[in-house]
Structure 1
Amino acid sequence: MRLKTTSMKCIAISSLMFLFLSLGGINAQVIDTGEESLEVKAIDETPVKEVAKDTVKPFKRIKAGGVSAVVGEYVIVEFDIDLSFLEMQQQGASIEGITRCQMLGKLMEDKLYAHHAKQDSILIPDSQINSRLDQQMQYLISELGSEEKVVAYYRKDNMADLRKQLFDVNKQIALAAEMQGKVIEDVEITPEEIRNFFFSIPEDERPVFGAEVEVAQIVIEPEVTEEAKQDAIDRLNEIRNDIVENGSSFATKAVLYSKDEGSARKGGLIPGVRRDAPYAKEFKDQAFSLLEGEVSEPFETSFGFHILYVEKIRGQEVDVRHILLFPEVSQETIDKAREKIDKIRQSIVNDSISFAEAARLYSDQKETRNSGGRLMNPITGDTRFDLTKMDPTLSAQVYNLAQNEVSKVFTDRDRTGKSSFKILTVTKRFEEHEADFVKDYEKIKELALKEKQIKAIQEWQEKKIGETYISVNRDYTDCDFSNNWLKQ
């Protein structure tokens, strides 16, 4: 392919860096590598631990607090680069072949975008940043065990200081993403450009597309009876009465009985709930309708039945605890569901009904039944799934299926732990093949558009680098940057 190697390297580094930028911060001082703790102090005589072999002249001594580069109003220090490498390693990403020069170049690109986003008056609502931050904090707390451990991990005095730091980092990420989106939003590609792109690639260099499948499914869920729902409500009422009337601990009850594994081990705690947070509407309605210390009546969401306790109200945020219960599904209803899907499968195999028609008539999954059970790839937005990249559970069921063959019945569990029975079929199979202009037109169009977008980004960067104040530390003047950061 004729996509520039340097550009693709930057894109690769960008994707690997995302989680670091989302969860880390430029002022963190201790990073747990799983083997030892690396402490970096901002003093002249403290060397930084080597994390990647560079391709330029070796660094004899680097100041941990020293400035590596300045882009507009943003400063990049040596520790930002070290932290980038360490966070990538912690997330299981390989840093092999990525030099300090490349990492600095990527950080400078991010700052260039953020700087010009501000210059162009691009605004990101604080609510959007806070929503993302809430998700990150939930992830960090679930991984480390408590707010206190998260604060200690990032060497902050309190949660407010940590949230402020992560808010600033997320704001820069959002500004950079918005600016990059603005650069390429008007980039379009014509059929003639697509044709020229494809036929300009030598035949022996044309891409090979891996095996792909289009998949449909039928889902049968064991019936949840009204009696089972009422039993869950009655059990929550018993727990609630013991808390309200007898002073029992809500947190203890959550540890003992809640089916939400993520919060149960923390006493049901979900900190920092905001009105724009990604929770069920019914959950947020309860959270913001109660006073501190109040316990809700049982209520239902798509996850199950809850009671909720408001622990603390902090402005537009609420710290809550909740207990989640699922209605019990009897063995009788499980057996009925299994018998039903067995009969549906047999009818399809016997050609008494098509898979698509059976899905429309019988599947319990509303999202897919009207399309004959056809699944959409959440990554690409189309109906094709790359067998090497699809969900392992799904891949295991369809990998050896011939086109139009029906899988055996298997049991699946959703995010709430609720079981259902499924059958799958491969409606179309595409074997691994060299790119074909007609058959793979949409994929080729995507590649051609991506190349044109990369060119637009490169032209924008070249122009803005010339217009922006940029200073690079002399230790990096021998770097072979993909952009003209040194303005030579």
Structure 2
Amino acid sequence: MKNNYLFLPLLSLSLLLTSGLQAQQKQIADRIVAHVNDNIILKSEIDQSVADYMRQSQVQGQRVQFSLELWFNFLESAIDNYVLLEKAQIDSIVVSDDEVELRMDQRIRELTARAGSEQALEETFGKSILQLKADFREDFRQQMITSRVQQGKMQSISITRPEVNQFFENIPTDSLPTIPEQVALSQIVILPPAKDNAKENAFEFAKQLRDSILVHGKSIEELARRHSDDQGSARNGGLLPLMSLDELVSEYSAAASALQPGGISKVVETQFGYHVIKLNRRVGDRIETNHILITVDNEES
């Protein structure tokens, strides 16, 4: 079976994690926390990324508490990014300055809408808009490059039926879970076609919820709990934990993978209805999202 990280053996990845990290320890100016080939990752870089994430969450009306788990998640993401950037260099994948500027302007507009004004956004970060762009320009470039590497890698993956069979045959019998008694059923379900006004109403409601997030600063978690028709995730604020892109319907995965962390999608139509999606984080080919689902009422007159 082909591996999503075929290029990993080409890289000498050595993780040099240091113990400690207690708040009470003596202050150290900086230290190396990981090596990826010739690249080093400094503790201060991860600290800054976590701080920026917490400030962005504040702009979006969320309160994120610092934790070691959060810190190590950002370290893991930084290592993944360096590995992907090495692969991008090998494959000569680049992103133009215009593309970076366009994506950055879009992100600044989103954050400004949530903060309420440019002044409020600048006060939250303690920096001017120009300073924010200067600080984050290289981060945006790297995110866009790694996203293209991931997309190209996924497109090249091909898994055959014999490979799947071989994988399951190699699992030790005593490691397989006990399968409870099951029955097989067949059924035919015929749903009436959705009426045009029902689809339009569902779409407009989803659009209103999206506007509430972007324009009025509402949190997607709050709106998902109140309005999402996906009962499985609604109680958790619409959270879909880390999932590979191929576990999601294609329209959803395409929209979510095009976002930067913290970004809000346009209204996305799938077989289940209309979604508003927020990308929380990306780890390799897996993504964590929150979403609001508005289904189409087929009985609506």
Greater gyration radius: 1
Q: RCO higher in 1 or 2 (8 Å CA, sep ≥ 6)?
A: 1
Q: TM-score, normalised by structure 1?
A: 0.31
Q: TM-score, normalised by structure 2?
A: 0.47
More helix by share: 2
